[in-house]
Structure formats: C-alpha cells, structure tokens
Structure 1
Amino acid sequence: MAQRLATEFVKARLLLPENQMSKFIEHIKDPLIRHRVRVLDGGSREIVLEDENGEEVSLPFDRRRHLFVCELSFRLVNPRLTHLVRRLFVAFKGDGLVRRIYPGFVMLDFYTEGSVRRIIELTKGASRLVFEHRDQLPELEYRFLSTDIEKEIEEIRLRVDRLLDRRRSCADAAEIGRIDRLLRTESERLFRLEA
C-alpha cells in the first residue's frame, strides 16, 4: 500500500446550522489533537486544530444569519489530523474536492453532502475513473413497479392450464408424451420466474 504524502482539501465547504456548532466542537475527540475556538466579530468562529507535532489547521466559520459557513482550502501531512478533519467533513456533510497525494499518483475525491460521489486517479499523463456513485433508486423503483414478470407468469399458467385440459381429453400416447414435454418446459420456466 502506498504511503500518503499529503492531503489537500480544495474548495471544501461546510454549512452548519447554529445549533450544530456545539456538536461540531464535541465531535473533536482526539486526545492528541488540541483545539481552540475563537469567537470573532458578528458571532463568527475560528476553530484551530493542532496535532502533537505542531501541524495546525484553521477552520473559519463565517456567521450568515442562522448558518455557519466554512469555506477552506489547505494541505495536511499528519495522518491523525487528516483523519479527524475528514471525519468532521463527512459527519457534517461537507462538499468539495479532496486530493490525496501519493508517490507517483494523486487521488481526487469529489464529495457532496459528506459522501464520496466520484474518485479519479491521476498519474503522469493519464487519468482513470476509480469510482462513481450512481443513483440506483430510479432503476429499483422501475423494476419494482414493472409487472412484466408477473404478466409472463400469468401467461405461462394459462398455457399450462390449456395443456392440462388437452392432456385430460387426449387418448393418443404419443400426443400425451408431447404434452408432458411441453408441461415440463413450462414448469421449469415458471420455477425460474417465480424464484
């Protein structure tokens, strides 16, 4: 596994309602990371996170009506501080781009509302889509509402009923054998569709 060199949060954005600011501060639960909260003019906040090695990051939250808006771009090297910031970013539904820098390649993670929507790997002269979130709900709803299989099952049952009626009234052994083969085929199809 490649060793991560750094992580960059590029054009990252967090929107917190007023009542979530205290939850945000409580969410910082790492004994090796200190945090300071500064209250600025107009009720804005600046939260400074500092790890045991002295690396620090400042999260400026501008107060806009009943929201705290944090727009930031920074680079982190320490894995513990990076993990904490990423956890906060996910828990409080951040949007933006996160660049994970490794020797020889870069991974771009595109976040929307705290979830990764796309991951792209960049190497010298090439890019590769690693992951892309697709909304499968419409497809699942279509399949759920689709009655094609139920219609086919009903058609098979009608054919089976007709074949059974023909078999009951038939006296020819060769014809009965042919009907039995058709019944076997239809019952196998019915079994597969109902499963």
Structure 2
Amino acid sequence: MAQRLATEFVKARLLLPESQMSKFIQHIQDPHVHHRVRILDNGSREIVLEDENGEAANLPLDRYRNLFVCELSFRLSNPRLTSLIRRLFVAFKGDGMVRRIYPGFVMLDFYAEGAVRRIIELNAGTSRLVFEHRDQIPELEYRFRSTDIEREIERIRARVDLLLDCRLSAVEAAEIMGIDKLLHEECRRLFILEA
C-alpha cells in the first residue's frame, strides 16, 4: 500500500450550531494532539491543534448569530493530526474536497454532509473515477411503485387461459402439440416474472 505523503483540505467547511461547540471541543481531545482555544471579538473562536512533532492546524470558527462556520484550507503530513481533522469533518457533517497525496498519484475525495460522495484518482495527467455515491432510494421507490411486471403477468395468464381453451377444443394431435409448446413458453416466462 502506498505511503501517504500529505493531505490537503481544500475549500472544506463545517457548520456548527452554538449548542454543538462543547461536543466539538470534546471530539478534539487526543493525548497526542494538544489544542488551544482562543475566543475572539464577537464570540468567534480559533482552535489551534498541534501534534507532538510540532505540526499545527488552525481551525477558525467564525460566528454568525447562533452558528459557527469553520472554513479549512491547509496541508498536513502527520497521520494522527490528519485523522483527527477527518474525524471532525465526518462527525460534524463537513462539505468540501480533501486531496490525499501519494508518490506518483493524488486521490480527490469530495464530501457532502460528512460522507464521501465521489473519489477521483489523478495519475500522470489522467483521471479515473474510483467511487461515486448514487442515491438509490428514488430508483428503488420507482421500481417498487412500478406495476409493469404485474401487468405483464396478467397478460401472460390471459394468454395461457386462451391457449387452454383452444387446447380443449382442438382435435388434431399436431394442433395440440403446437398449443402445448406455446403453453410451455408462456409458463416459462410466467415463472421468470414471478420469481
């Protein structure tokens, strides 16, 4: 597995209601990462996270009424600090892009509401879609509400009934064999649709 060189948070954003600020502070508790909180004018906050090696990340939390907005744009190389920021990003439903840099390639992770929605690999001037989240609920609801199969089953049953009536009135063996062959095909289709 490739060793990650760095992680960049690009245009990443967290929105925190004032009521979640204490929970946010609890989430940054890590024995290997030290934090300082500065309260600025108008109630805004600045949280500085620093790991044991001296790498730091500045989290500005600008206050707008009862909401704190944290816009992140920095590069980290320490895995412990990167992991802590990513956990905060997921826990507090962040939006934005995270660029993971490896030797020879870059992975772009696009987040929406704390979940990865798309991952793209950039490699020597080419890009490849690795993952894309698709909301399958509308498609499943459409299929659930769709009655096309039920209507097709009803049509097959009507044809089977008609073929059985024709078989009862048939007198020649060749005609009965032809009807039996059609009945066999219709029964096979019915079995497939009902399964």
Specify the SS of the correspondent of 1:138. Answer: helix
Instruction: Return the letter of the residue paired with 1:111.
Output: Y
Which residue does 1:188 correspond to in 2? 188
- Of residues 73-82 and 164-173 in structure 1, the stretch that sits farther from structure 2 once superposed is 164-173
Percentage of identical aligned residues: 78
Question: 4+ runs of 1 displaced by more than 6 Å?
Answer: none
Distance across 1 between alignment mates of 2:138 and 2:34: 45
Q: 1:134 Cα deviation (Å)?
A: 2.8
Following superposition of structure 1 onto structure 2, how do residues 1-195 of structure 1 map, counting pairs within 5 Å? 1-195=1-195
Superposed displacement of residue 128, structure 1: 2.2
Please, which runs of 5 or more residues in structure 2 have no aligned partner?
Answer: none
Count of matched residue pairs:
195
TM-score when normalising by structure 2: 0.92
CA shift digits 1:106-164 (9 cap, x unpaired): 11112121122222222222222222233333332322222211111110010111112
Q: Secondary structure at the match of 1:150?
A: helix
Aligned Cα RMSD in Å? Answer: 1.6
Please state how far the C-alpha of 1:65 moved relative to its aligned partner.
Answer: 0.4
Q: Distance in 1 between matches of 2:182 and 2:171?
A: 17
CA distance in structure 2 between the aligned counterparts of 1:174 and 1:89, rounded to whole angstroms: 74
**TM-score normalized by structure 1?**
0.92
Counterpart-to-counterpart distance in 2, 1:12 and 1:6? 16
Q: Which amino acid aligns with 1:2?
A: A
Q: Name structure 1 gaps, 5 residues minimum.
A: none
Tell me the CA shift for residue 77 of structure 1.
0.7
- SS of corresponding position for 2:130: strand
